[in-house]
Amino acid sequence: GENVEQHPSTLSVQEGDSAVIKCTYSDSASNYFPWYKQELGKRPQLIIDIRSNVGEKKDQRIAVTLNKTAKHFSLHITETQPEDSAVYFCAATDNYGQNFVFGPGTRLSVLP
């Protein structure tokens, strides 16, 4: 089955700097890759996603890149702000395209 790895597990950056989180997946048939943000005590919420026919997608300060050949995708946050502090999860669809397999998460701390 699908296996998703995520690095780093924790990341601290200064406010205004960029943050990059990387994920790898194992199933070459996976075709959808979402990123969820989870603030302390809250539910995971989708912040950006990318499909396998696209190499990059941007939404204001966040972007995601996908390399299907290497089976990895990354989240980029520019001009980080304290409110970006949260746990970020990447995910990939499973073999049947029905469900997500989540990475273990990255705890991002943005220091003022």
Nearest to 75 by CA among 39, 103, 43, 41: 103
Span interacting with another protein, options 17-25, 53-61, 69-77, 93-101, rule CB under 8 A: 93-101
Q: Which of 3, 5, 28, 32 binds another protein (CB under 8 A)?
A: 32
**Using rule CB under 8 A, residue 92 touches another protein:** no
**Using rule CB under 8 A, residue 102 touches another protein:** yes
Strand partners, 25: 4
**Using rule CB under 8 A, residue 71 touches another protein:** no
* Smallest separation (angstroms) from another protein to the CB of 8: 15
Could you give the C-alpha distances from 23 to 41, 73, 84, 104, in angstroms and in order? 24, 5, 19, 10
Residue 30 contacts residue 23 (beta carbons within 8 Å): no
Of the pair 32, 111, the CB lying nearest another protein is at 32
**Using rule CB under 8 A, residue 2 touches another protein:** no
In the structure encoding, which two tokens stand for residue 45, read together? Answer: 């919420």
* Smallest separation (angstroms) from another protein to the CB of 57: 14
Nearest to 36 by CA among 26, 21, 18, 52: 21
Positions touching another protein (CB under 8 A) are: 32, 34, 42-46, 49, 89, 93, 97-105
